Structure 1
Amino acid sequence: MGNTNWNYVIAAVEEMNFTKAAKRLYISQQSLSNYIAKLEKQFGIEFFNRKNTLTLTAAGESLYRYAKFIKMAVGEYASAHNEHFMVDEHWIQLMTRVMCMAAVAFQNESREIHE
C-alpha cells in the first residue's frame, strides 16, 4: 500500500457507508471495500467495525485524523512552493508509512491534531 489514497479513507469515514463513499469517489463499492480490507491487513488492525452498522474503531478514528492531517500538510507544502509544484512520490510514500505506523503505535493515546 505504498500509494495510500487518503481520500478513500476520508470518504469512507465521513460517509460511514462504503457504497456512498464509493459513489462520492467515482469507484465501485467493491474496490473501496477491498482497499480498506488490504489497508487493515497491512497494519494488522481493523479500522472499521462491520457488524450491523459501520462504525469506527479507535484505530480508525486515529487513522482518519492522520489522513486529514497528511492531506492538509501535503496541500500546504505544495501551496507554499507554487501552484505547479508536484510533491515527490517517494516522499509521500515515506510519510504515509511513517504516519500509519504512528497511528497504529499510538492508537490508545489521546492526541489531537489541530486544523
Structure 2
Amino acid sequence: MVIGPIVLILAAVPMIAGKVSPDGPLGPGSKQLDRPEQDWYDSTRVAGSAFLTGGLVWLAAAMLLPGHFDTLRQEHETIAFIGATAVAVATVVSTMYVEGGSDTW
C-alpha cells in the first residue's frame, strides 16, 4: 500500500530540484515550447511540489489508517480513495498553474 505514494514522492523530487529538462523523456522539446524555457522549470517545480504534497498525504493515510476499519476492503478502498484524490488535486493545481500562467504561486 505504500509503493504508490513512495513512487510519487520520488518522482516529485527531481521536478522540485529543476532536473527535469524540456528536452528529456518527459518534456516536449525546447523547440516545441510556446514560452521561455524558464517557464518550463518554474512549472515543473510547482507540479513537483503539488505531487510531493499529494504523495505525503497519501503516504500518511497508508501508514496511519490501517487497523481503523471493520474490514480490510474498507481500509484499502479508503486509502485508495485518499491517494486518488491527492493525485487528482495535485494534477489540477499544476494544470491551473501552467494553463493560467499564474505568477502568484
Scaled by the length of structure 2, the TM-score of the pair is 0.48
Point out the structure with the larger helix share.
2
Name the larger-Rg structure. Answer: 2
Scaled by the length of structure 1, the TM-score of the pair is 0.45
